[in-house]
Structure 1
């Protein structure tokens, strides 16, 4: 994988990490294998896949217009068995890419790598200070992180007054705990110098949707947990930094603003139609409600003169032929 090419070395003279893009290839060759040999493998020197302090002078490879970008390489037979781990190489390369990008942003005053917070609770991959004093921690995340571990890091950064900004390795799943906290997540393609954002698709418009957060009914960044997402990829050179993190290019901001304005117009129309319907309903004449009234009781039989034969059931007078039976035929 081209993302696994070594672009970071260690300069024994300055005791610092160096990037292949910091100097022309000829200068790196003069400092590398077979010549001064002061630029060595960062990973071997730091004890990654080799004993700490292992000095492996590097070869600078690449040419202008070549298919493979400039990079460092171990001399033949000096690399660890199987080479250095892809995740480790990606992390170091990504960290340097982010630092180099941050230094080019016009509002960035200071960029430091592997910078501890003041209380030494967290060490940022890349610590950035903006011209308004805001502080950012650019984190290159090479593998899936648990919710608990991310929340602990996020809380520590927040307590230190630092805004954490997360860049994931390609093909690494983004923990939705970030979205639950309203934190964007970016995927970093450091070889291409690009970053990808995830935006939530517009939510369905249910009953009285206009009373809810209208931002959610257009493309929204970051997405909500579980949202279907739209992926938008940008060159790092078009992205900016502000106290809230990474900012979109102007064209993307205009696109989102147009959608938000359209949602706002739809919400105003829906609210107006709802209010009109309510006014019509209140103005309509009210129909009398049906009230149940029980049937009146049957009339009491008229008083019967004394001595008149009566039915033993209904107590009404009996005709002469029925006296012998003592009741009416239907009683």
Structure 2
């Protein structure tokens, strides 16, 4: 397959930390242009908007969108209408309806749309799914806790009405649960803690059950100082399982079974290349649907104000 010429929109922390080095190392992609209000990549043509980038002289085959989700739909719609394949950072949109509309537009335009969930590409995800499929699960609990000041410094958009708050990392846990568990699960109870001065939650306590009656729970918190916790615990007939480091280590009864260096974004770009080559899309919104259910059903509890 020929090299896919890529435009990157939104040159912020996640782009610098993950996308740019992954693209540079990929055999499938070449970064040929960027569009961002504040960031750029040395040696790569840069523009202040996606409109300017699309009007530039560079030939672009595909576009990765890394800007905040509340402005992503318009950019994705424009890219699709211009005949570009589109990679959506997580979450893929502000609403389920947005992503469904983009999927229809991509199909009509004959381009690939990829709603990426990076945690599903953790080194231990496949082994964990296979291990759980071979035993009887008694209970499952995801714990996703971190310090928002470390991981999202000064990102005020995260707290706006319609934004995800703690579900921005929490949706990673939901993407993992929906990847490793053998059956669908659904929400039965939820408590969401909202700072008095914010329109998005800072913590969430979620209770689920799967279609076989197995209890599934999740705890998300943006207020954990020090090291983060990104884990899934399961009690099963075959022993106690721990999926640690966001999906990159599998432990069974305290024994490490699977580990490898983090390569989630390499997995994402490999999948994007495969989708483009096959003329297919992958626009799964199941994790976002679980977030929507939490906002719909959750009891909102006010807590102390949050300030950076």
The answer, yes or no, to whether TM exceeds 0.5 is no
More relative contact order, 1 or 2 (CA 8 Å, 6+ apart)? 2
Higher-helix-fraction structure: 2
Report the structure number with the largest CA radius of gyration. Answer: 1
